[in-house]
Chains A and B, each alone.
Chain A
Amino acid sequence: MSAITLRSVVKRYGSVEVVHGIDLDVEEGEFVVLLGPSGCGKTTTLRMVAGLEDVSDGELSIAGRRVNEVAPKDRGVAMVFQNYALYPHMSVRQNMEFALRPLGLDAAEVDRRIQEAAGILGLGELLARKPAQLSGGQRQRVAMGRAMVRTPDVFLFDEPLSNLDAKLRTQVRLEIGKLHNRLGTTVLYVTHDQVEAMTLADKIVVMQNGHIEQVGTPEQVYAHPNNMFVASFIGSPSMNMIPARHEGGRLRAEGLDLAVPSRFEGKLPEGQDVVIGIRPTGLQRAEPGAADAVVARVEVTEFLGNEALLDIRVGDHELIAEIPAAGRPAPGDEVSLTFDPSVIHLFDPQTGATLSR
């Protein structure tokens, strides 16, 4: 039985439809991340699961029970809000007690749960403080503690790290991951940060404009994107996209002439327009005499430590290559690059869909 099921779920505000009939299954104990650009409907979807927004159409179930008409308080979910929404007039301990109150536990159990959460999250020293006396990271942990003590069936997170600085974000991200491993509770997590999604998720749901573009493991959405949107949204720097044409077993574009990778042989009609997608790591310095080497001009180099990014120009296309930093070329140099055929993606320029399957 799935922990959360969405069937053709639609959200309309007045006459404006912002979520267009999405289907999703979140399995018991799974960590599922809703990922997408700003305004794509992630928060709206999460809030529908929490019961804070009505479902306009379709069916939403939690633990096998239809919950469209069930009040938030009866859904057995706990939520961590983007701005944490800690009760400012209550101490850290009271914040957690307040979340436990509806469960009607005895005082000893309430105390045990608070101590346990405080232990796991390192809140012991802070229990008597008010939220205003806490740092951003501490507030974030209190918000998680408040969600945790209720031992819900499902955790909902809405961009819980977006108010933290970069260093803290990495640290808390790890803590959330550990927490999930330890508690094994189902998580539905909203973010527009793909690093968060990649590192935390068992399953990533890529959304755009109120549609689900792809559902898959981080490896699947990275290595086998369904379409150009997913391909360019996942991965940093973005995948290079080059419009080309299939002619006589070759992929041709200005300044470019590649053999069709063997995976696609026999699948492409002659004269078909395609978009070649290749990640920056798929472009590497060519060995002398390598077949299909492309000559490119380096415009800018960015040193990252182990790697360097080259902004290069091939014909009239600007591409990015990520190569070992040692012995990198200088701006203005000409380099010879090969496209690793095993990681070349081909897309239909009209629909954006992948041609890889």
Chain B
Amino acid sequence: MNKPSMQQAILVYALLGIALIVFLTPIYLIASSSVKPSPIMFQRPPAMLFEPTFEHYRDLFTMRPFGKFIMNSLMVALGSTAFSVFFGSIAAYAISRIKHKRMNDIAFWILSMRMFPPIAVVVPYYIIFKTAGLLDTPLALIIVYSTANIPLTVWLMKGFFDEVPRALEEAAAVDGHGLISIFWRVTLPLAAPGLAVSAVFCFIFSWNEFLFALMLTGSEAQTATVAVMSFWSSDAVQWGRIMAGSFVILIPGVVFVLTCQRWLVRGLTMGSVK
């Protein structure tokens, strides 16, 4: 790459700065509002200097079992991510390697499942899970999220598997390894960035999802996103608690992405840095 000139550098940093402001402002508002005493919450201009209070956080965990809802969210998101990445990768490997003239059609059919408008399937899902006795269980959400996450994983991972040179698998085959060993020890490690990208997308989708979580869970399996909205009732909107809840919800996503970051950066830029 050429060394960027001074002007280019300034331009790049200016754009980055704007992007940062755009993305970080809401987070700043959430964070600052979550520690603002209720009386000054809507002061104009916004109060910049105030004695921070943790009463909203205290209320969040004492007035409602918010810890449990976080655990529900974690269980659902991690469960769906693990399930989707596992089965999605296997399916993607088959699609990437098996030569068949209808393979592209199959791949497109799988992707098309992702294109359902969610609202159209909410009621059928509700009836199915009611019949199966799975309403208000984490399993119901894991299943629903996986139907959206598996197609995404299949498409992402197919791209990554396509990039793994066949010669490496052939070398492993001649070296005496069978299909599973080759997949597990050669192909999959080389597609690790793809796993990270898929996992991040699956996790964030499942963690943030609201509609299905609202419709398919009650008090038991409720997720954090739905729980936060329950502070918005007909008589009052408890902004402090909503903000505190929102801030807590941010944390696992950030931790998860940072954990995957090592592979993620390579994954998202793959192809461009070869």
Q: Which residues on A are within 8 Å of B, measured CB to CB? A: 50-52, 71-75, 77-79, 81, 83, 85-89, 98-99, 101-103, 146, 150, 156
The contact of B174 among A50, A86, A87, A101, by CB within 8 Å, is A50
Q: State the CA gap A117–B253 with chains docked (Å).
A: 48
Q: Which residue of A lies closest to B185 (CB)?
A: A98
With known contacts A85-B165, A89-B189, A73–B177 Cβ distance under 8 A? yes
Q: Hey, what's the 0/1 contact readout for B34-57 against A, CB within 8 Å counting as 1?
A: 000000000000000000000000
Q: Would you list 9 pairs from A and B whose C-beta atoms are within 8 A, ordered by A residue?
A: A51-B173, A52-B174, A71-B173, A74-B176, A79-B171, A79-B174, A81-B171, A86-B171, A99-B176
Residue with the greatest number of chain B CB neighbours at <10 A, chosen from A73, A74, A75, A102: A73
The reply to whether A102 and B176 form a contact with Cβ atoms under 8 Å apart is yes
Q: Hey, what's the 0/1 contact readout for B7-33 against A, CB within 8 Å counting as 1?
A: 000000000000000000000000000
- Nearest 6 A/B pairs, CB to CB: A102-B176, A85-B171, A85-B167, A99-B175, A72-B173, A73-B176
Q: State the CA gap A349–B168 with chains docked (Å).
A: 46
The reply to whether A85 and B173 form a contact with Cβ atoms under 8 Å apart is no
The reply to whether A73 and B173 form a contact with Cβ atoms under 8 Å apart is yes
Q: State the CA gap A172–B176 with chains docked (Å).
A: 26
* Chain B neighbourhood of A72, CB < 8 A: 170, 173-174
The reply to whether A81 and B185 form a contact with Cβ atoms under 8 Å apart is no
B218 on the interface (CB 8 Å rule)?
A: no
Q: Which residue of A lies closest to B190 (CB)?
A: A89
B237 on the interface (CB 8 Å rule)?
A: no
The reply to whether A85 and B168 form a contact with Cβ atoms under 8 Å apart is yes
The reply to whether B172 and A98 form a contact with Cβ atoms under 8 Å apart is yes
Number of B interface residues at 8 Å Cβ cutoff, please give it: 17
Q: State the CA gap A354–B102 with chains docked (Å).
A: 51
The contact of B175 among A52, A71, A89, A98, by CB within 8 Å, is A98
A160 CB to closest chain B CB (Å) equals 13
Q: Which residue of A lies closest to B175 (CB)?
A: A99
B168 CB to closest chain A CB (Å) equals 5
Q: Hey, what's the 0/1 contact readout for B175-195 against A, CB within 8 Å counting as 1?
A: 111100100011001100000
The reply to whether A73 and B174 form a contact with Cβ atoms under 8 Å apart is yes
Given A72-B174, A78-B174, A98-B175: 17 more A-B contacts, CB < 8 Å: A51-B173, A51-B174, A52-B173, A72-B170, A73-B174, A73-B176, A77-B174, A78-B175, A81-B171, A85-B165, A85-B170, A86-B171, A87-B186, A88-B190, A99-B175, A101-B176, A102-B181
Q: State the CA gap A103–B177 with chains docked (Å).
A: 10
Q: State the CA gap A144–B185 with chains docked (Å).
A: 21
Q: State the CA gap A78–B190 with chains docked (Å).
A: 23
Q: State the CA gap A50–B186 with chains docked (Å).
A: 19
| Inter-chain residue pair count (beta carbon < 8 A) | 62
Q: SS class of chain B's interface: helix, strand, loop or mixed? A: helix
Q: State the CA gap A83–B168 with chains docked (Å).
A: 10
B256 CB to closest chain A CB (Å) equals 23
Q: State the CA gap A74–B165 with chains docked (Å).
A: 22
* Chain A neighbourhood of B170, CB < 8 A: 50, 52, 72, 79, 81, 85
The contact of A102 among B171, B175, B190, by CB within 8 Å, is B175
Q: Which residue of A lies closest to B168 (CB)?
A: A85
Q: Which residue of B lies closest to A76 (CB)?
A: B176
Q: State the CA gap A71–B174 with chains docked (Å).
A: 9
Q: State the CA gap A72–B175 with chains docked (Å).
A: 8
* Chain A neighbourhood of B167, CB < 8 A: 81, 83, 85
B227 CB to closest chain A CB (Å) equals 42
Q: State the CA gap A101–B189 with chains docked (Å).
A: 17
* Chain B neighbourhood of A71, CB < 8 A: 173, 178
Q: Which residue of B lies closest to A80 (CB)?
A: B171
A57 CB to closest chain B CB (Å) equals 20
B133 CB to closest chain A CB (Å) equals 45
Q: State the CA gap A72–B167 with chains docked (Å).
A: 13
The reply to whether B174 and A103 form a contact with Cβ atoms under 8 Å apart is no
Q: State the CA gap A146–B190 with chains docked (Å).
A: 19
B110 CB to closest chain A CB (Å) equals 27
* Chain B neighbourhood of A156, CB < 8 A: 174
Q: Hey, what's the 0/1 contact readout for B144-166 against A, CB within 8 Å counting as 1?
A: 00000000000000000000010
Q: Hey, what's the 0/1 contact readout for B224-253 against A, CB within 8 Å counting as 1?
A: 000000000000000000000000000000
B59 CB to closest chain A CB (Å) equals 50
* Chain A neighbourhood of B165, CB < 8 A: 85
* Chain A neighbourhood of B185, CB < 8 A: 98
The reply to whether A150 and B173 form a contact with Cβ atoms under 8 Å apart is no
A104 CB to closest chain B CB (Å) equals 10
A103 CB to closest chain B CB (Å) equals 7
* Chain B neighbourhood of A51, CB < 8 A: 173-174
B78 CB to closest chain A CB (Å) equals 26
With known contacts A88-B190, A89-B190, A98-B185, A103–B168 Cβ distance under 8 A? no
Q: State the CA gap A77–B170 with chains docked (Å).
A: 12
* Chain A neighbourhood of B176, CB < 8 A: 73-74, 99, 101-103, 150
A15 CB to closest chain B CB (Å) equals 15
Q: State the CA gap A77–B174 with chains docked (Å).
A: 7
* Chain A neighbourhood of B181, CB < 8 A: 101-102
* Chain B neighbourhood of A88, CB < 8 A: 168, 190
Q: State the CA gap A78–B177 with chains docked (Å).
A: 12
B180 CB to closest chain A CB (Å) equals 12
A90 CB to closest chain B CB (Å) equals 9
* Chain B neighbourhood of A74, CB < 8 A: 176
B185 CB to closest chain A CB (Å) equals 7
B172 CB to closest chain A CB (Å) equals 7
The reply to whether A102 and B177 form a contact with Cβ atoms under 8 Å apart is yes
